[in-house]
Copies of this chain bind each other. A is one copy, B any other.
Amino acid sequence: MCQLDFISIDKSLSVSKYKQIINSVLDAIGEERLVLGDKMPSINEICEKFDLSRDTVLTAYNELKSKGIIAAHPGKAYYVCSTNVNMEQNIMLLYDELNAFKEELYNSFIRTIGDKANVDLYFHNFNRKIFNHLLQENNYKYTAYVVMPAQFTGISSILGDLKGKVYILDQLPVELRGNYPTIYQNFEKQVYSGLMEAKDRIAKYRKIISVYPGGKEPESQLRGFIRFCKEVNMPFDVINDLRNRSVKEGEVYLVVNDAHLVELVKLSRNQGLAIGSDIGIISLNDTPLKEVVANGITTISTDFAKMGETLASFILNKTAAQIENPFSLIVRDSL
């Protein structure tokens, strides 16, 4: 007699039964519930327990045998003879939207994971319906689900269906805290610490203004901003956009959105204000081009390349941690 409980069969699924057996075995080996030399349950045991044909089980065992995972000892049993299961991964990346700094994140992830996985990219564009739809439709189709949950609430039930395969990226809603492997940005800390680190340079200016459109961007960025302003006792303002605005000497801006960055640089030039002395600019999310925008834009940014690498290593090594992605202040001439 032998343990059977690592095998689960759902006949209503579209996945063929013999493949469900194979996957059960590979998963069990991956989780070390089956180890080298273990005796496998006999074909008869399995087909009786799960009401399957012997051939169905045999097909599964044959494929495992041809992969070198188990060896048959006719008249005795099958035994685990290799735990070298480099299961080919099939990964669903569900991003919020496509924008310039996703380039580095995506490409570093692909580079690190190499040919060890097939990766499909989807976007929910901050549309909750699309988010639900995509996850439901692709249930069971991937070995890992990497999700940017943005600021959605009430998604734990959907993600629960994919248990053990979900990775959270970028924003970490409170309700998901502690439940999934996560690589998140601590937006409040990032903005607060970044500004704090640049305190001396910011002190050149009279007033600090955050251009915060709201909606897509995490509110905690705003909290970090306001915490900084109050702590250093500096006059501040929060505005939604730059329409009809005239920038004034002595103002320093924190912009979260690249379209606003472009507008701001143009406004400053039109009004003959020198960036980095008359007015200051700090931009969130670094991209290569920002090093040479104007005379260089000071940025507070998470390390997107690192984030992609960590994500890949999480998936490859089945790491279950929740880690904060490193960020830094990159001082350039705009401040």
Residues of B within 8 A of A79 (CB): 14
A4 interfacial by beta-carbon distance below 8 Å: no
Question: How far in angstroms is the closest Cβ of chain B from A183?
Answer: 19
A1 interfacial by beta-carbon distance below 8 Å: no
Residues of B within 8 A of A274 (CB): none
Q: Which of the four size classes fits the interface of chain A?
A: 35 or more
A120 interfacial by beta-carbon distance below 8 Å: yes
Question: How far in angstroms is the closest Cβ of chain B from A136?
Answer: 6
Residue A100 contacts which of B84, B122, B261, B287 (CB distance < 8 angstroms)?
A: B287
A175 interfacial by beta-carbon distance below 8 Å: no
Stoichiometry (number of copies): 2
Residues of B within 8 A of A110 (CB): 125
Interface 0/1 of A1-21, CB less than 8 Å to B: 000000000001111100000
In contact, A289 and B106 (Cβ under 8 angstroms): no
Q: A120-B122, A121-B122 are in contact. Are A14 and B71 (CB under 8 A)?
A: yes
**A81 CA / B14 CA spacing, docked (Å):** 10
Among A199-207, A210-218, A245-253, A291-299, the stretch in contact with B: A291-299
Interface 0/1 of A232-275, CB less than 8 Å to B: 00000000000000000000000000110110011000000000
In contact, A81 and B122 (Cβ under 8 angstroms): no
In contact, A133 and B291 (Cβ under 8 angstroms): no
